[in-house]
Amino acid sequence: MNGPLAMDDPPCPQPEPDLTLWGVVTAVQANYYWVSLDRPEGEPRPCAALLCIRRARLKKTGQRVMVGDRVQVADPDWEGQRGAIAAVDPRQTVLDRPPMANADQMLLVFAMAEPDLDPHQLSRFLVKAESTGLEVLLCLNKQDLVTDQTRRIWQHRLRQWGYDPLLISLRQEGSWADLQSRLQHRITVISGPSGVGKSSLINCLVPEAELRTSAVSGKLGRGRHTTRHVELFALPQGGLLADTPGFNQPDLTLTPADLGRCFPEIRRRLAQDSCQFKDCLHRDEPGCAVGIDWDRYDLYTTMVTEAEALQNSQPSRRSGQSAMKHKVGEGGEVHQEPLLQAKKYRRVSRRRQRQALEDFHYTTLDTAIDLDHLDDDSHEQRR
Ligand code: GDP
Ligand code: ZN
């Protein structure tokens, strides 16, 4: 115990508490969190990541910890590669499905061929991506399979939609350098239909991902895509990439009014002019500022009709109730953020928790960690 220091006492050497240990949660399972630690220059840490529990105080206040959270880690046990999360930074953004904090952008990957680039499917993914309120980055892979002319036509068309796609081929070394620089120092969520080259891309961008995927498939006879959990991969140049298998089927549950905000063409026109009616759905209403002379107009109206049908089939959902909240930025631009449903902290049974942890341990790290010492409460009691 520390008593008050008498004036004459020599100063007692106390270990300085390390208040500088911060990192990002890269994976969550039950009540355990992998935290990838910040790497301050010139000060290498004994390990790059720690398997952490939450401090009791965070549990009591119901503070949830999500993948992507910036957290402060206390009491590092470098040898056992463990620690405890002591504080969580306020979140910049929150995604509901997959549950993830602080994502900066959504990377939508499609192929130019094999499978064919279908404008309707692409639009549905784009709208879903826009509905998160994150910046959307569009990447078209397999450019080696199409002619220059096809590339130009798509580029031109997508620019009209409001996107500037990055055309790459994983068969052409170096063609994804621009993409790499767009991912640097940012948290990016990757999405897109299957077969377009997402896994191949992740393996190119994150060398360790391949090892991990093959290790998992080897041991458990199943690959990364069977896991329901989001996991962040550290990019060698800085930045984090989230692979989200759960995001691959865009189930659009937007209201008709939300839909308009997910089309850059509509946003662009409304930034210049406003419609006569406040609740205009931009389907050729009188005094509509958007008009009908744009490529995706038919697709847009089809989606509005679908959204109306969905709304009418769900009477409990009040009309006009939005799945998103809108924030006005400094320059007057409107950002969308998904409205979140608060989920209460649920206590997981010990047995399930342990089982989950064993799976987790299996799938995320090959380093031997003694699971017997990872019990939440015993860790707390040792303090
Ligand atoms: P995912 O389902 O989106 O993860 O797609 P995969 O990464 O499994 O890739 C699907 C197939 O496309 C594989 O056979 C890859 O080898 C192939 N592929 C990936 N990128 C390219 C590319 O740039 N050009 C060509 N021709 N094939 C590619
Ligand atoms: Zn209108």
Q: Is the peptide bond before 46 cis (omega within 30 degrees of 0)?
A: no
Please give the share of the chain, as a percent, with pLDDT higher than 90. Answer: 56
Please state whether beta strands 166-167 and 135-141 pair in parallel, antiparallel, or not at all (unpaired): parallel
Q: Around 78, how many Cα atoms within 13 Å sit in the side-chain half-sphere?
A: 8
* Lowest-pLDDT choice from 98-102, 154-158, 182-186, 367-371: 367-371
pLDDT value of residue 347: 43
97 or 197: whose pLDDT is higher? 197
Nearest-5° angle of CA 307, CA 312, CA 316?
110
Q: Is the peptide bond before 44 cis (omega within 30 degrees of 0)?
A: no
The stretch 288-310 carries a mean pLDDT of: 95
First to last CA, the chain: 14
Distance CA 322, CA 312 (A): 14
- The CA 284 to ligand 2 mean position distance, Å, reads 7
Element (H, E) at 190: strand 187-191
Q: pLDDT tens for residues 262-274?
A: 999 999 999 999 9
3-state secondary structure of 76: strand
At 4, list the tokens: 């008050």
The stretch 59-87 carries a mean pLDDT of: 94
pLDDT value of residue 221: 34
Is the pLDDT at 86 greater than 50? The verdict is yes
pLDDT value of residue 29: 84
The stretch 72-86 carries a mean pLDDT of: 94
- The CA 264 to ligand 1 mean position distance, Å, reads 29
Q: pLDDT tens for residues 210-269?
A: 645 444 443 333 344 434 567 899 898 889 999 766 455 566 678 999 999 999 999 999
* Mean pLDDT of all residues belonging to the chain: 79
Neighbouring residues of 330: CB distance < 8 A, sequence distance ≥ 6: none
Minimal-distance CA residue to ligand 1 atom 27: 142
Minimal-distance CA residue to ligand 1 atom 5: 197
Q: Is the peptide bond before 115 cis (omega within 30 degrees of 0)?
A: yes
Which conformational region is residue 34 in: left (phi greater than 0), alpha (psi within -120 to 50 degrees), or beta?
beta
Residues 252/127, Cβ–Cβ less than 8 Å: yes
Domains and CATH numbers, the chain: 20-90 (2.40.50.140), 100-243 (3.40.50.300), 252-318 (1.10.40.50)
Is the pLDDT at 285 greater than 50? The verdict is yes
pLDDT value of residue 231: 84
Choose one of 194, 200, 247, 249 to mutate for the ligand 1 pocket test, by most ligand atoms within 8 angstroms of C-beta: 200
60 or 352: whose pLDDT is higher? 60
